[in-house]
Structure 1
Amino acid sequence: MLVQTVDYCANDAPARLIASLRETGFAVLVRHPLPVWLIDGIYRDWLAFFDGEAKADYRFCPEKQDGWFPPSVSETARGRSVRDLKEFYHVYPWGRIPAGLRRDALAYHGTATALAAELLGWIEDALPAEVAAGLSEPLSGMIKASPNTLLRVLRYPPLAGDEPPGALRAAEHEDINLITLLPAASAPGLEVRDRQGRWHAVPCASGALVINVGDMLQEATAGWLPSTPHRVVNPVGAEAAQSRISLPLFLHPRSEVVLSARHTAGSYLDERLRELGVRN
């Protein structure tokens, strides 16, 4: 499985990104404009937050979906019976954010959202005429003034050895949104499944930015771009005693955007959140 590494500054970057997304649903972007120092600081500061007690004051709102999701209510991937081994915080510009973490989180949310919009524009420009004609509106229009783009700060706690049988840090799943931007996590573990069912590790070098297609984009393009299963496997040895932090940005359309004859973005998101067990 060849997930291409694409130089953001190269003249052929858009074409190579689209080729990798078309083939695998994933690409790795390097020399991108997201500041590594900001990402590293967010990892450090949010790890301290997850290790503290103040997070209990920010327990998530089931309707708004902002705030801290403890391990006891973590997601259960579709088709699985045990929850993922993780906790996470949902950052929206309009939502609750701890005061000491707010500035950097919102700075990153804005910068990453702008890059995600640019990459979505690359995709929009590459769509075949028949695919573009099937959209309810251009991809760039779907995200204008959207309040739904989500920055998730994820913490996978150290493994204690008493985890439920079969539990993974993140079981096999696809993302819900249009595209995801994921800077290199604090430790390896991300794997992508190819069309033959084999799993492949995704590079985790500092400065790498993983881009992947979500289910909403697959739905809107009638499968022209594939949303590919991926997972985060449990570490072994000394790494099992360490937390893992990651920072996906999920680019979402406005809720009323029509994705297909079956779904608006709002109805699709609601259906998936219920499947994941984080909305009643």
Structure 2
Amino acid sequence: MTDIASVSLDQPLESIAGELGASFSEFGFAIVKDHGIPQDLIDRAEEMSKAFFALPTETKLKYKIEGAGGARGYTPFGTEKAKDAKVHDLKEFWHVGRSLPADHELAEYMAPNVWPTEVDGFEETFEALYAAFEQAGLRVLEAIAIHLGLERTFFEKTVEDGNSVMRLLRYPPLEGEEAEGAIRAAAHGDINTITLLLGAEEAGLELLTKQGEWLAVNPPPGALAVNIGDMLDRLTNGKLRSTTHRVVNPHGEAAYRARYSMPFFLHFRPDFIIEPLESCSESVTGNTPQPAISSHDFLLQRLREINLA
């Protein structure tokens, strides 16, 4: 495979599973169209995200939750950094997580959401978008299960009530000659199972190929860029790759304006034990299978590495 796959989720999954799996094996990424997330919901969410980030800094900081590792609410500019990076990423963001009743068996792992009162309809819009992202993600996982030769519903229970997080991202505009080509988010791999990203049509997202070259990821407007996270890489012993990627500032006029995007980090349940699938115990990558670890412990380990815990 020489190009990142671009598939439509409104096709029978058996017809796209092979192409999707091959792209995830080679690049760790695929482009997914016709994903079922309504465009009017996406448009409304984008408007509300911009409205929130346009609020005064002191207003946004009301929603920064100390000691929560950024799991909910607002995380200001200059907080998160990639693993082993020497500088912080040039971004601010807002997190929406799963809403669970207080007596739910997994409630201890997921803090309640907070909602800004300054943007009308914010809660309703992003609760709806969270649910739509989750449905699209389940369909991608179903295709992955088919590709791996598993029962097509294999992943349903592994992610049921999982600690998935939706992030509203703003990369502020940069100034000066150094703005063009600047690194807005340093090279990193995602922690979770799979990531579904809206807004990647704005130039800047790049993945690192097996050959060590940076390759631009350019989905058409409204499509999702979907990538494998470290948890699924570990489960498949590297058969599906969690690829290093970054966000760079483009050249030209776009270098001097803010960049917005909305990734959905789909997670396994906190109590799911990640250990290599039997069918992937001798992966083509030659990786040594990693020891079993719970999804929650793996998440905490990685959050500490990126300065969020």
| TM-score, scaled to structure 2 | 0.81
Deviation at 1:128, TM superposition (A): 4.2
Matched residue SS, 1:216: helix
Counterpart CA distance in 1 for 2:167 and 2:238 is 26
Corresponding residue number in structure 2 for 1:156: 171
Alignment of 1:107 with 2:128, yes or no, is: yes
Corresponding residue number in structure 2 for 1:3: 4
The gaps in structure 1 that reach 5 residues or longer are: none
Deviation at 1:24, TM superposition (A): 1.3
Deviation at 1:185, TM superposition (A): 3.5
Per-residue Cα deviation, 1:167-204 (whole angstroms, up to 9, x for no partner): 62111111110011112346211111100110111114
Residue 193 of structure 2 contacts residue 228 of structure 2 at CA under 8 Å; is this kept in 1? yes
Alignment of 1:142 with 2:158, yes or no, is: yes
C-alpha change, 1:60 and 1:236, in structure 2 (3 Å) is: farther
Structure 1 runs of 4+ with >4 Å offset? none
The gaps in structure 2 that reach 5 residues or longer are: 100-112, 276-290
Deviation at 1:255, TM superposition (A): 1.2
Per-residue Cα deviation, 1:101-154 (whole angstroms, up to 9, x for no partner): 11111100001101101211221232246xx9xxxx9432211122x1100001
Alignment of 1:278 with 2:299, yes or no, is: no
Alignment of 1:214 with 2:190, yes or no, is: no
Between 1 and 2, higher relative CO (CA 8 Å, sep ≥ 6) is seen in 1
Corresponding residue number in structure 2 for 1:62: 67
Which structure 2 residues correspond to residues 25-174 of structure 1 after superposition, within 5 A? 25-53=28-56, 54-63=59-68, 65-73=71-79, 75-94=80-99, 95-99=113-117, 100=120, 101-128=122-149, 138-146=154-162, 148-161=163-176, 168-174=183-189
Counterpart CA distance in 2 for 1:248 and 1:154 is 8
Corresponding residue number in structure 2 for 1:226: 241
Counterpart CA distance in 1 for 2:201 and 2:23 is 24
183-192 or 224-233, larger mean C-alpha shift: 183-192
Corresponding letter in the other structure for 1:113: E
Counterpart CA distance in 2 for 1:155 and 1:213 is 22
C-alpha change, 1:161 and 1:272, in structure 2 (3 Å) is: farther
Counterpart CA distance in 1 for 2:237 and 2:226 is 19
C-alpha change, 1:142 and 1:105, in structure 2 (3 Å) is: same
153-162 or 100-109, larger mean C-alpha shift: 153-162
| TM-score, scaled to structure 1 | 0.89
Aligned residues: 270
C-alpha change, 1:170 and 1:109, in structure 2 (3 Å) is: same
Matched residue SS, 1:248: strand
Deviation at 1:56, TM superposition (A): 1.4
